[in-house]
A and B are shown apart, each in its own frame.
Chain A
């Protein structure tokens, strides 16, 4: 095999791999609040990754970005999401229509998304984009994450999972951005983060509107033409 990566690259790759696993966790998780929790963990990991890259490549900007991203994605977004999910005024209550919204059995869903992840992996791998600054593996994992997030949005037929799939898709893109262009000016990164916050609010409104009309978060109700 090729040479062993250094400890920093190895750690960055391992963190990226755990993020991908969490994406699979969201796919399997039955309850919306557990999905939100996994999303928070995934976002925390991306901040840790930013710190690792900052320490490795001596980019002090990234520390600020890590802190900002943690404040927004680990604290604010899950909080807003939990508030906006209907039925979650009482914290222990699960919004209706999320559990059991699998269109495939969990084991088949995992196998199908493994195939998707493989496509993402090898598609990016064959581009040979990696370099000393950008570990090819973390980039490929980011692509796989995007595909798995798409899989999550397709396989689960409830609006809460689909919103979470969209947000974690953004995590995958942040991962790719962090790996490829760690030196991006802080102002751009901040702008992207606030874009995400807007998306969260919009999704939250859509979730509430759908719940108000259908009394459920399941999108199965949307296939009928007349209510």
Chain B
């Protein structure tokens, strides 16, 4: 039962784990969130049913929208599905396609996906969709410096900016885990992830209240399978960000170090467990803090920026 898997199969499994596991993680978060609020909540598999239901529905496009409107969800999902090839999802050793791009490459793919959805929202002429994408673009410009400084920290720590290299560095000794640069960069990245997945500081991530609506508003005009793709896309994005946080920064243990089937299966289970654990923490944070007003987002971003900048500072004096 421990035959060695060929490398391409493992590479495919990385994508499939993220693609098929993402709705389950979303379902677990929704259940935990409901329990925190004293509700019973949907079943864990509900996101799969939602996606299946949407796929059976009719797709409409607003009059005047071009083919790009319909192509955008496909491009976005394609971009999201490429990222699992670049980051350590299941294995601790680099897979051949893992060296196609570094952390910045992954970041570019995430931005590309967000960009095409924003362009599609512009095509519709709907005020809500445009408001959502305009906000999303504005705020991602504010959090961008934080991400850059996190990348700088990684680059200074490892001498490269490949995610595999950082995960290996973190695994190498306890001193690497406890050094302030690593802790600060991880905390800054976590704050960015809370923002990017629409948890904190201004959004209710499923809410359709104009005051704090960012992510949800962008897909207002899509319907049917295209809406399903967009929803799946945001689940994929969340799963990818959780994977980066846990497998690269916080707990890069439990990854398969061989090609054996058993260890790869174990790594799949470990990844889903880690993503659910991060999700539970996120849900608890989401539900225990009040949302800020929209324009207070700079305060949140400045706190994350502080963490990331201090991470780089501590490295410059050597030994941080």
Contact = CB atoms under 8 A, between A and B. Distances in A.
B314 interface: yes
A13 B320 contact: yes
B318 interface: yes
A20 B313 CA distance: 12
A107 B306 CA distance: 10
A144 B310 CA distance: 10
A166 B303 CA distance: 23
Place the interface of chain A in its size category: 35 or more
B319 A2 contact: yes
A114 B314 contact: no
Contacts of B174: 7, 10
Interface in B136-172: 156-157, 159, 172
A107 B310 contact: no
A111 B183 CA distance: 21
A4 B175 contact: yes
Nearest to B176: A4
Contact of B310 (A3, A11, A17, A122): A17
A115 to B, nearest CB: 10
A140 B175 CA distance: 20
A125 B298 contact: no
A135 B320 CA distance: 9
B149 to A, nearest CB: 11
Interface string A101-137: 0000111001100100110011001000010000111
Interface of A: 1-7, 9-11, 13-14, 16-17, 20-21, 24, 28, 105-107, 110-111, 114, 117-118, 121-122, 125, 130, 135-137, 140-141, 144
Interface of B: 156-157, 159, 172-176, 178-180, 183-184, 298-299, 301-303, 305-307, 309-310, 313-320
